Amino acid sequence: MPTISMFYGIIIRMLYMDNRQHHLPHLHVEYQGMKSVITIPDGELLEGELPAKKLRLVQAWITIHEDEVMANWSLAVNGEPIFSIDPLR
């Protein structure tokens, strides 16, 4: 599962061809052993757990990088290489 960004202890990943289970564009997020699935572009917690403050950071990152995140999603569902996205600063 390729990592596309990391910031404040949060790891954001995207799977290739990962549109069968959730049927929505989404990210896989990990923080201190907690794993979650976050929808894009709206940033809703779809599955798992994430502290509220960390979820807000991920949501802000998604908002700032929405075009890049959605471009990565389009590439990933087609099995094409995805690119890294700048972390939240």
Domain borders along the chain are 3-77
Considering only residues 41 and 55, tell me which one the structure prediction assigns the higher pLDDT.
Answer: 55
The predicted structure's pLDDT at residue 1: 79
Mean pLDDT (the chain) is 92
Residue 9 confidence (pLDDT) above 70: yes
Confidence class for position 55, pLDDT limits 50, 70, 90: very high
Residue 60 confidence (pLDDT) above 90: yes
Q: Name the nearest CA neighbour of 27 among 87, 88, 76.
A: 76
Asked if 7 and 14 count as a contact pair (C-beta separation under 8 A), the reply is no
Share of the chain above pLDDT 90, in %: 81
Angle, alpha carbons 52-88-9 (nearest 5°)? 60
Does the predicted TM-score (pTM) go above 0.85? yes
